[in-house]
Amino acid sequence: MIEHEVLDAGLGGADDDDDFEMTEEADAQLPDHRYLDRELSWLAFNQRVLELAEDPALPVLERANFLAIFASNLDEFFMVRVAGLKRRIVTGLAVPTNVGRAPADALADISTEAQRLQLRHAEAWTSLVRPALVDAGIEIVSFDSLAEDDRSAMYDYFHAQVFPVLMPLAVDPAHPFPYISGLSLNLAIRIRNARTGRQEFARLKVPPMLPRFVPLPTVGESERYIAMEDLIAQHLDDLFPGMEVLDHHAFRLTRNEDVVIEEDESENLIQALEAELLRRRFGPPIRLEITDDMDEVTLDLLVKELDITTQEVYRLPGPLDLRGLFDLGRIDRPDLRYKPHVPTTAMAFQPGDNNERADIFAAIRKSDVMVHHPYESFATSVQAFLEQAAKDPHVLAIKQTLYRTSGDSPIVEALIDAAEAGKQVLALVEIKARFDEAANIVWARKLEKAGVHVVYGLVGLKTHCKLAHVIREENGVLRSYSHIGTGNYNPKTSRIYEDFGLFTADDQVGRDLTRLFNELSGYAIEKKFKRLLVAPLHLRKGLLRLIDRERNNALAGKDARVRIKVNSMVDEQIIDALYRASQAGVKVEVWVRGICSLKPGVEGMSENITVRSILGRYLEHSRIFSFANDGDPVTYIGSADMMHRNLDRRVEALVRVAAPAHVKELEDLFDRAMSDATSSWHLGADGEWVRHATDDEGKPLIDLQDRTMASVQRRRRARAVR
């Protein structure tokens, strides 16, 4: 298994019993009810996304996009978190939540809050975003409002483009109730047989491959669209000739789609995963969304046939499945979007005087290079690094982890090119990356066919670290070039996810990565790393020691501060260590995007802890860990969130940032994020997040992401002048 000593941080050995004695003694001084419910905290995060959709100061097509993001987020929450709770209840493995709630009670809490948020979501569309779109010349119209010419055009479109792919399924003694796929949008239809007078039921799936919103002929300067389910509903008579259509209602089902694999070292992991992916399609139902006008007869039939409880039924005003608003992204109205931002090339990687492509290796040899995506380009840094490595005749080997990547990945193509050029190439493909499993299986097989050595990591662990390691021969000596990042090797998400990456030719990091890849691909058991903190065994221990050192510094009157930026803050040991540091007078600043189970501002426990959250056009995704260390800062970046799964069940890696300029860049970013002059959400001790977007005079506060964009652009212009 993975072990290490954090030598360069001066943390001593990995198994210091005194630390654990201190922890037990300190825990007795902390109150029992010191955490926030993690599931309700996640729902609070999605509420923050919804608040962006409700914000009239944002461009209206971006607001529509945030409505779609909210819907997509909530779907995944039900498919994974709610499904997990329900599974544990059904299997009898139910254990209390992180705040001591019984899982059944937690499900009831989630149901109540999710219902409230979904109603607020629907209201935001109906009363805020849709009218704002109309004002901007974009209308989602109902079929009933159409003039005769438009109806005729839609009739022709329906029969040419929609009717041939529809599959109405009857339910009667000869036709059992059909399988309802997860997240599909459906129409429940009641019809009467004109010959017998008998009422029947039919189900019609809205084909997901068709556009959700169908364009209508332009009237004046307005763009008009009609929802696909509305168009289909108005032509049901054509689908059921000889029958009388009595009523129809939309509904949508969410299933348990979390993949659970019982791994065995003798088992073929890909085959096991493929079998589990097939079972995923038939996971048990966990949520039924219906329109608020659905009659009780139809609802009773659905509840009975789907074997779902009334608590799992969500009655909502239409339209259902507002993920469909992603389709509005096709509308060519740049005036209704964020101003475009073109990522700059990091200064170290910018072309030379003759506009020649930069020599990536020469730049890294000169000094460590830190890049900040999407403000700085992924294509001219990470992608260029791997593409140059693939073509360079002096490069002997490339080793890389792949957790999520895009469908047309130039990263994968570079690895294939390298293998075909005769280089040694190792790709550690995490085929268990949730909801990307099928795509990763495809890429794994493609890589294997090209001669890449493909491995799947360690049994029982997901490999979540973001590592690339290149071995190059230079004057008869082998030199390592390394990249350690906070985000995936995905060119598409790199344009919308905020992440850091560190390039270095440091020998210590090179040796660390050589040892780590040997452990991941073979049977090596490594116990010492120099500039890395690695999970699952000792990343938590290393962070706890770093936090405790700040506590001791504060008690000794020395400079002490802890700054942590993560997606989620849940792990109880880390939270308790931060509470103890706060009690000793350490200023603790936590910048979290999503879940936060820590209670800040509680007298006697966490009055020195501040928690902020920032959401915007980019998804805040980087992880940063900074410790004052009495004036000699210790700063790490990497892949790990403060969750049990990251610290206990994943291979994660943090790298220490060594260059003072890079440490300062991270500190400056934190200064801006935590400033009261910056727009953000503030977490209170009661778990409520309050948005601070304007000052006392009503003027907008600073947008951190806009400010960072401007800062990067200024650095580029300053270099151009020189």
Q: Give dist(CA 622, CA 620) in Å, integer.
A: 6
The helix/strand/coil state of 210 is coil
* Helices assigned H by DSSP within 556-659: 572-583, 644-648
Q: Quick check: 143 and 231 in contact, CB under 8 A?
A: yes
214: β partners: 226
The values of phi and psi at residue 12, to 5°, are: 75, -165
Residues pairing with 472 in the sheet? 395, 479
Q: Report which of 593, 603, 610 is spatially closest to residue 676, judged by C-alpha positions.
A: 610
Which class for 579: exposed (0-12), middle (13-18), buried (19 or more C-beta within 10 A)? buried
Q: Name the nearest CA neighbour of 337 among 588, 49, 539, 138.
A: 138
Minimal CA–CA distance to 284: which of 109, 79, 106? 79
In one-letter notation, the amino acid at residue 353 is: D
Give the whole-angstrom CA distance, residue 718 versus residue 712: 10
Please state the separation of Cα 678 from the chain's center in Å. 23
Give the residue among 547, 536, 560 at the shortest CA–CA distance from 23: 547
537's CB contacts (< 8 A; 6+ apart) are 1, 2, 3, 4, 14
Residue from 501, 506, 509, 576 nearest 543 by CA: 576
Which residue in the list 464, 483, 538, 662 is annotated as catalytic? 464
Cα 487 to chain center, whole Å? 10
Enter the tokens of residue 268.
């073929």
How would you classify the pairing of strands 634-638 and 623-627?
antiparallel
Phi-psi region of 635 (alpha: psi -120 to 50; beta: other; left: phi over 0): beta
**Does the annotation count 121 as an active-site position?**
no
Please give the radius of gyration of the chain, using alpha carbons only, rounded to the nearest integer: 28
CA dihedral (72, 76, 77, 82) in degrees, to 10, reads: 140
- Closest residue by Cα to residue 419 from 454, 463, 385, 384: 454
Determine contact, residues 416/448, Cβ cutoff 8 Å: no
Contacts of 406 (CB under 8 A, 6+ apart): 490, 491, 492, 493
Q: Which residue type is seen at 176? A: P
Taking each helix axis from N to C end, the angle separating 437-449 and 269-280, rounded to the nearest 10 degrees, works out to 150
- Residues annotated catalytic, as ranges: 464
